[in-house]
Amino acid sequence: MSDNFSSTAAFLWSVADLLRGDFKQSQYGRIILPFTLLRRLECVLENTKPNVLAMYESVKEKEEKAQDKILTHAAKLSFYNTSKMDLNKLGETGVAQNLESYVQSFSPNAREIFEHFDFFNTIDKLEEADLLYKVAKRFATTDLHPAAVDNYNMGLVFEELIRRFAESSNETAGEHFTPRDIVRLTTSLVFCNDDGLLTQSGLVRSIYDPTAGTGGFLSSGMEYMHELNDKAALSAFGQELNPESYAICKADMLIKGQKVDNIKLGNTLSDDQLPADKFDYMLSNPPFGVDWKKVQKKINDEHKDKGFEGRFGAGLPRVSDGSLLFLMHLISKMRPLTLNSKESGSRIGIILNGSPLFTGGAGSGESEIRRYILENDLLEAIIALPTDMFYNTGIATYVWILSNNKPSQRKGKVQLINASTVRAKTGGRGRSGGGESTEEVENVFYQAMRKSLGSKRKELTEESIETIVKTYGQFVENDFSKIFDYQDFGYRRITVERPLKLAFDVTTENFELYCHDYIEKAKKKDPDITIELAQPAGYSTLQSLIGKKKVFSRTKFFNYFTEKLSSSEQKNICKFFGEHDENAEICLFESGKQKGQPEPNPDLRDNENVPLKQSVQDYFEREVIPHVPDAWIDETKVDAIDGEVGIVGYEIPFNRHFYVYQPPRALEAIDGDLDAVSADIMKLLQEVHS
């Protein structure tokens, strides 16, 4: 059974046949999931249950804490059950009462799981529908013993049930768990460079997932470490927002002997329930494009009040996508480096969609977050995954790997691995001194699934995971792996100004518009004002200039006015009667610090992004001056951090770096295809007419 989790899940889900008619489709999962958990827990406890029952008789008079400690030891697990019942012994009468008593007899940490499923209410509803005995018997006949279904496959069973539940209730399954091929890849990448360290005896490490879901990442981390060192201890920590997913995660951690108090329920962004903790390894698949408007005030307050002492000092992304908030949260949980730096620091693996790579221009929250990550040398690699890899979306996704203790060859570098293509050549030039490779093996990064699961139509092969991890671990460049200095992703946004050149032409049409605009504004202040009294500034002079020759100098134009005009009145006259003309005289500032200098034309203002490694002045003279000789850089626009001209921004244009030019087909080939299509059409027409 362990080899076919899908058939196990299908058998468990077949309980829906009993529920149909008495319950809505959207209710099936809230019945099937807790019963599956209950059956799994009792199967896990079966071997030590006699010892627990015998011990319970001798300690049941003791206080709860002492009792709990002794019974946990007797169960040889972190949970137990003191009832003589199980799903096979509920009887045919008083089933609800017996089942409730049975569940209440679990240790407090296990009992809480069923409370989050609102299981006692479910028992009452099944009893009312006269279905409780039938449902309980169906689960009692399912073999979920660890010998039949190991922990890994039991995790897959839970995930398949959640997916079916999500489909039946129009929920999003992908919010609750991550496909196991993606989990395996991300875990392997995060643990990759620590393989030697992880084989040490007596090792104790911690792993954390702020979006724990059903615990897939935590389980995978423990499995990976166990493969390398079965004597190593890995403490799992997590927080999850969804109560059902939290309950399953907690049950999974119970079965694996973890301290389940480390698994928290709640919103990680607004209510971090592990505020003082730091972790060795962190893995997360936050919901893509999650809106954080509901918790906006708390996050804004933390950003404003705590700055870099809190989690969000670098900046805040737009409210419509909080992915980068989860990344900053993880960075805040990194262990600081110590003198013995080989065994300190932290590693992060997080799955994000494409927007965190490039959304937001220089100075924006997103750009400032990328800047903080890159300038603090935290980003090791980004791996682009194929589309159609997740249950709830087909969009492009990326695995980010971060560390605050990079090996020397990775210092100041970022590796991009493009695993989104169908085929690529492996091998290549190593940046760590590996020399030139002549290996030219074609690699298939993914394969089509025999049966789609929601939006998931592709899966990574074991070979492709190995290839990606090997390429990352060896730090090599090849057709699908490129290595950059972090500054390659930076730029300075300079503001390019061009002079204001205004020519003035007073016509009947623009004079009437000018007067009409003034009258409308005057009426808003005084509805009873007469047209005779509502004459705009410069009325008589402008009237006298109607039909006169166009004036190509702003100074000369305003010399015609005998009345004194305020600066706002002059500005308004320019709005109606002035227009940009390259043949006109440059307008100069007439007062202030900039007196005598050219006045910029806001309509011609532009921005240029100068690569961070290039001189701003050299770039300007090379790329701008040849096209607009009278342009200049606005040197008042300086970066808030380094004080230099131009606002610093960062973006990671992943696809641009892997773009391969595909030349258009030859015209002869296109003509041949068109001739063939035309011939087919003519043939069809002849058949119709005949």
Digit-coded pLDDT (tens) for 589-611:
988 888 999 999 999 999 999 99
Is residue 684 assigned to a domain? no
Q: Do both 82 and 161 map to the same domain? A: yes
Is residue 86 assigned to a domain? yes
The neighbouring-strand residues paired with 352 are 398
The overall pTM is greater than 0.85: no
Residue after which a domain boundary falls, among 602, 618, 649: 602
Interval 476-500 mean pLDDT: 95
Sign of CA dihedral 663, 668, 671, 676: negative
pLDDT at 342 over 70: no
Distance CA 427, CA 404 (A): 28
Interval 564-590 mean pLDDT: 94
Amino acid at position 42, single letter? E
Q: For residue 666, what pLDDT is reported?
A: 84
Q: Looking at the 3D structure of the chain, how many domains does it have?
A: 3
The 3-class SS string of 412-425 reads CEEEEEECCCCEEE
pLDDT at 425 over 50: no
CA atoms within 13 A on the CB side of 555: 8
Q: Do both 119 and 189 map to the same domain? A: no
Is residue 143 assigned to a domain? yes
For 448-475, write each residue's pLDDT tens digit: 778 777 778 888 888 889 999 999 999 9
Determine the angle formed by the axes of helices 180-192 and 216-228, rounding to 10 degrees: 50
Distances (CA, A) of 52 to 76, 143, 147, 472: 9, 22, 21, 49
Q: Do both 90 and 115 map to the same domain? A: yes
Is residue 297 assigned to a domain? yes
DSSP state of 603: G
Q: Determine contact, residues 315/366, Cβ cutoff 8 Å.
A: yes
Sequence-distant contacts of 519-527: CB under 8 A, at least 24 apart: none
Residue after which a domain boundary falls, among 602, 620, 640: 602
Find the domain containing 540 and state its range.
499-602
Distance CA 237, CA 206 (A): 7
pLDDT at 434 over 60: no
Q: Determine contact, residues 34/123, Cβ cutoff 8 Å.
A: no
pLDDT at 81 over 70: yes
pLDDT at 415 over 70: yes
Q: Do both 273 and 293 map to the same domain? A: yes
| Gyration radius of the chain's alpha carbons | 35
Higher pLDDT, 435 or 395: 395
Q: For residue 150, what pLDDT is reported?
A: 84
Q: Do both 74 and 179 map to the same domain? A: no
Please report where in the chains the tokens 């499995």 appear, as a residue.
223
Interval 2-13 mean pLDDT: 78
Q: Determine contact, residues 360/318, Cβ cutoff 8 Å.
A: yes
Q: Which residues of 99-137 are buried (b: 16+ CB within 10 A; e: fewer)?
A: bbebbebbbebbeebbebbebeebbebbbeeebbbebbe
Please report where in the chains the tokens 């809230």 appear, as a residue.
30
pLDDT at 340 over 70: no
Is residue 485 assigned to a domain? no
Distance CA 436, CA 440 (A): 12
Strands (DSSP E) found in 4-138: none
- Highest mean pLDDT of the ranges 164-178, 237-251, 369-383, 412-426: 369-383
Is residue 401 assigned to a domain? no
Higher pLDDT, 400 or 388: 400
- Confidence band, pLDDT 50/70/90 cuts, at residue 423: very low
Q: Determine contact, residues 349/326, Cβ cutoff 8 Å.
A: no
- Backbone angles phi and psi of 139, in degrees to 5: -70, -30
Distance CA 212, CA 230 (A): 23
CA atoms within 13 A on the CB side of 385: 30
Higher pLDDT, 69 or 441: 69
pLDDT at 690 over 50: yes
Q: Do both 226 and 332 map to the same domain? A: yes
Is residue 522 assigned to a domain? yes
The chain-wide mean pLDDT, for the chain, equals 87
Q: Determine contact, residues 394/360, Cβ cutoff 8 Å.
A: no
Strands (DSSP E) found in 115-182: none
Residue 105: enclosing H or E segment and its boundaries?
none
Q: Do both 345 and 287 map to the same domain? A: yes
Q: For residue 433, what pLDDT is reported?
A: 45
Within 8 A by CB and 6+ apart from 516, the residues are: none
Q: For residue 43, what pLDDT is reported?
A: 93
- For residue 212, the domain's CATH number is 3.40.50.150
* Residue 234 burial (10 A CB sphere; 0-12, 13-18, 19+): buried
pLDDT at 8 over 60: yes
Q: Do both 220 and 238 map to the same domain? A: yes
According to DSSP, the β-strands at 281-284 and 397-403 are unpaired
Residue 690 structure tokens: 């005949």
DSSP state of 286: P
pLDDT at 394 over 90: no
Residue 259: enclosing H or E segment and its boundaries?
none
pLDDT at 439 over 60: no
Higher pLDDT, 433 or 54: 54
Residue 331: other Cβ atoms inside 10 A: 21
Amino acid at position 599, single letter? E
According to DSSP, the β-strands at 347-353 and 397-403 are antiparallel
Distance CA 14, CA 206 (A): 39
Q: Do both 179 and 102 map to the same domain? A: no
Residue after which a domain boundary falls, among 318, 337, 353: 353
Q: Do both 291 and 177 map to the same domain? A: yes
Q: Determine contact, residues 284/351, Cβ cutoff 8 Å.
A: yes
Q: For residue 1, what pLDDT is reported?
A: 37
Distance CA 314, CA 327 (A): 11
* Residue 1 burial (10 A CB sphere; 0-12, 13-18, 19+): middle
According to DSSP, the β-strands at 490-497 and 446-453 are unpaired
The 3-class SS string of 338-375 reads CCCHHHCCCEEEEEEECHHHHCCCCCCHHHHHHHHHHH
Q: Which alpha helices (H) appear in 475-585, and where do they start and end?
A: 508-525, 539-544, 554-559, 567-577
Q: How far apart are the first and last CA of the chain?
A: 63
Distance CA 117, CA 27 (A): 12
Interval 607-621 mean pLDDT: 96
Q: Do both 83 and 123 map to the same domain? A: yes
Q: Do both 213 and 166 map to the same domain? A: no
Within 8 A by CB and 6+ apart from 633, the residues are: 494, 495, 496, 497, 616, 617, 620, 645
Is residue 619 assigned to a domain? no
